[in-house]
Structure 1
Amino acid sequence: MKNKSVQFIIIFVVILGVNLLANHFFFRIDLTQEKRYTISDASKNLLQNLDDEVYVKVYLTGKGIPAGFKRLENAVKETLDEFQIYGGTNIKYTFIDLNAEYKDEKTRNEKIAAIAQKGITPTNVYNNEDGKKTQSLILPGAIITYKDKEIATLLLKGNKLSSPQEILNQSYEGVEYQLASAIKRVTATAKKKIGFFINYTNLPAVNQLDLIGALKPNYELYPVDLRNSPTLDGLDAIFVLKPEQVFNDDDKYKIDQFIMNGGKAIFFVDAVKVDSVAREGNMAQVQSVGLEDLLFKYGVRLNPNLIKDAQMSAAIPLDVGNFGDRSNIQLTQWQYFPLINTFGKSPIVRNLDAIYTKYVGTLDTVRASGILKTPLLMTSQYTQLLKAPAIMSYNFASKDLNASQYNAGVQTVGLLLEGKFESLYKNRILPNDTRFATFKANGEDSKIIVCSDGDIPANDFDKKNNTPLPLGFDKYSGNTFANKDFVLNAIDYLLDDNGVIVARNKEIKLRPLDKAALQDDRTYWQSVNLIVPIIILVILGIARNFWRQRKYTR
């Protein structure tokens, strides 16, 4: 009896000690292979430094939503629970079922419309209930509120060319980033400064409206008259958008020194200019804007050619012949408008939808010591290169493809460069030059993104309704591509000092059941699950009874 009392006291003291230690020393162990319950250090740092409450309203919930969406809902809840561990009482959340909250259909629809206006697009989903197919509307997003500010974030995001199950899994992978990024934006006290050059582009302002509108809430945007600005000091990044005028050497020097001093830059540059010459086709001509030697020095070459992609390209209306006495206009695949759906290994493009491009050329990497080069955007493998100058005939679009001619392979059209760049003007600025005192021959750590299509960040304009179209919207197919997401991710990566965007690297592998084996062996596994536990219990009962008989027989 005494021994049992001592054992009880020891066990009690151990349990009490473990609990006391746990209260003072916090730790968690994630035993999953993909570390799905572990958030990034950047997210932890963001949450631990919150100075006030952040309230998250999640609308991805409801009775009878399909299993895939239920899994996504659970992922959101698990992530927010994890956020609360590091954010403490500054993170509060709730799940709102609009169907349960608003019984009146008119009121509910008005609420859904108001939420949709904030950027959370409603999604129709189908489910089977008791053998009947039912349809319901869900809002796969959340609204994050901080003080007097709020921001909406979409939680259902993925590549539309993937299967529904893969899109849901991609959304599952992106939950941490979507929530952490929204919290970062809504709690930001200072905005990074981005400069746009007004001297060198002919792109109308109406074709920049959606880009400016997407960047303005999170960044301070400045139109820069480069020719009359002595330096680019004070800016955090520069945005070189579809230049068509030749950069003079003084302005190019300002860009070079901005990058040498750690400034970030993103270039959307066409190496080929396309003009319409007649109804029969377009003319592609070499276009030099004076940045070629600068980018070459940094590690990338713009090639004066155009890519024809036989596998992934957009359709445009073309005259494919006569229909009686009228022209026969049909949507026809135009291979000079590649849809980019092959991406490199970077958080900028992970799980991104396809990107719409127009008359895009190729990029090559060249030797640049100490510079890390990461391909971001790539074509399909079925490509053909057209070297400028050349005529692009409309007639080829209506002809059968000759697959043997599309053998140029995967081509890079977007590239990330990171490291300490060497100045183009190294050994060229002499001591008697007035710029010598401030000149830097070798740069600080910086990042540059180069894309060989100036139209990626440009939106189209609906002349009939006199309104700008969304960035990435294809007016012929009605699809919205991921051009805006790519640009926002790229800018975020360049200017994100906290590194929250690294959370986009999270990978969760799908492990689907073998449906054929499941169907064939269904009865077998049902029997195993029913009978085996009973057999185990019987064996344990017999063993225990046998042990007791031996113990007390003695």
Structure 2
Amino acid sequence: MALNKVDAPKQLNVPLTPIHTGLEPWLAKKGITLDNKVVIDVQCGQVSIPRRVGNMTVQSQERFFYFPLLNKFADHPASKGLEAVLFQFANPLSFNGDSTKKFTPLAYTSERSGVLPASAPISLERNWQEADFNEPRQVVAAALEDKAEGKAKSRIVVFSDGDFAVAAQQGQQVNEDNVNFMANAIDWLSDDTGLIDLRTKQVKFRPLRQGISEGTKSFLKYFNFLFPILLVIIYGIVRVQKRKAIRRMRMSEASV
């Protein structure tokens, strides 16, 4: 079950719009609560923002803390083999049920994450502080099983982002592990986990280690962007110089 508690705003500096799906009371009876808050995480995705540079408008890639990039997963068939799942405007999940149910958090935010009231305006210009990210390991996906003896086996998986497995815009590519997460959950719910090992076998995500400085991150970012361009320029210069040398040699031979 993937559901949204808030509707993403169409523009910045406006609060999120609460969504009442009607499923909240049913989930509450099972002991699951989706808080009326939104998760923020330093480990996050990016968005394209138009910026003015002189007389030109360019698209700048900016970190967007409201898009947590998840790489902490439980040892569970539904989250097995995952490396990087991107959520958008996710809500924290909590469990307050009884011992007849087994609650398993499947995906967490990073150690530098936090929560904000859903009514807080969405802003890129906010003066973020370390204190904003002092609530680590927020649960944003979980599995629930019935443990009571004599009952038919029942299972449910809850994701606090209702759109994580579909493209936000037509033609936009969905993150591969987002799809794997949903497919794994379906396999687990149907008690068919044989394909999970094959689906998540490939290694795709290797994040920078925690604690690396912002200066080092910026250097690596621009190095990865500029170094291939520099190689092409150097290659072009070498080719031009080589052609000039061949031309001079041919001219000198012709004049003899």
When the two structures are superposed, what TM-score results if normalisation uses the length of structure 2? 0.69
Q: 1:345 aligns with which of 75, 96, 101?
A: 75
RMSD after superposition: 2.4
Question: Which is higher, the Rg of structure 1 or of structure 2?
Answer: 1
Counterpart CA distance in 1 for 2:69 and 2:22 is 28
TM-superposed deviation, 1:394? 2.7
Establish whether residue 408 from structure 1 lines up as the match of residue 135 from structure 2: yes
Return closer, same or farther for 1:315/1:351 CA change in 2, 3 Å cut-off.
same
* Percent identical residues: 26
Establish whether residue 453 from structure 1 lines up as the match of residue 161 from structure 2: yes
1:415 maps to a residue whose letter is: A
Counterpart CA distance in 1 for 2:53 and 2:68 is 29
Gaps of 5+ in 1: 1-266, 422-441, 463-467, 473-480, 505-554
Deviations 1:110-158 (A, max 9, x none): xxxxxxxxxxxxxxxxxxxxxxxxxxxxxxxxxxxxxxxxxxxxxxxxx
Counterpart CA distance in 1 for 2:134 and 2:195 is 36
Establish whether residue 486 from structure 1 lines up as the match of residue 218 from structure 2: no
Gaps of 5+ in 2: 199-256
TM-superposed deviation, 1:341? 0.7
Higher relative contact order (CA 8 A, sep 6+): 2
Establish whether residue 419 from structure 1 lines up as the match of residue 174 from structure 2: no
Counterpart CA distance in 2 for 1:284 and 1:469 is 23
Q: 2:6 aligns with which of 272, 292, 297?
A: 272
State the match for 1:471 in structure 2.
174
Deviations 1:66-102 (A, max 9, x none): xxxxxxxxxxxxxxxxxxxxxxxxxxxxxxxxxxxxx
1:351 maps to a residue whose letter is: G
Q: 2:88 aligns with which of 344, 358, 362?
A: 358
Counting matched residue pairs gives 197
1:40-119 to 2 correspondence within 5 Å? Answer: none
Q: Contact 1:299 / 1:417 at 8 angstroms: preserved in 2?
A: no
TM-superposed deviation, 1:325? 3.0
Counterpart CA distance in 1 for 2:77 and 2:182 is 13
Deviations 1:283-306 (A, max 9, x none): 212221111111111121011111
Deviations 1:423-474 (A, max 9, x none): xxxxxxxxxxxxxxxxxxx952110000100111212444xxxxx44432xx
Counterpart CA distance in 2 for 1:386 and 1:374 is 24
Establish whether residue 301 from structure 1 lines up as the match of residue 52 from structure 2: no
Higher helix share: 1
1:192-271 to 2 correspondence within 5 Å? Answer: 267-271=1-5
Counterpart CA distance in 2 for 1:331 and 1:502 is 33
Counterpart CA distance in 2 for 1:487 and 1:345 is 16
When the two structures are superposed, what TM-score results if normalisation uses the length of structure 1? 0.33
Counterpart CA distance in 1 for 2:129 and 2:5 is 27
TM-superposed deviation, 1:419? 1.1
Counterpart CA distance in 2 for 1:327 and 1:414 is 38
TM-superposed deviation, 1:502? 8.5
Deviations 1:155-187 (A, max 9, x none): xxxxxxxxxxxxxxxxxxxxxxxxxxxxxxxxx
Secondary structure of 2:154's counterpart equals: strand
Establish whether residue 313 from structure 1 lines up as the match of residue 32 from structure 2: no
State the match for 2:54 in structure 1.
324
Counterpart CA distance in 1 for 2:14 and 2:49 is 13
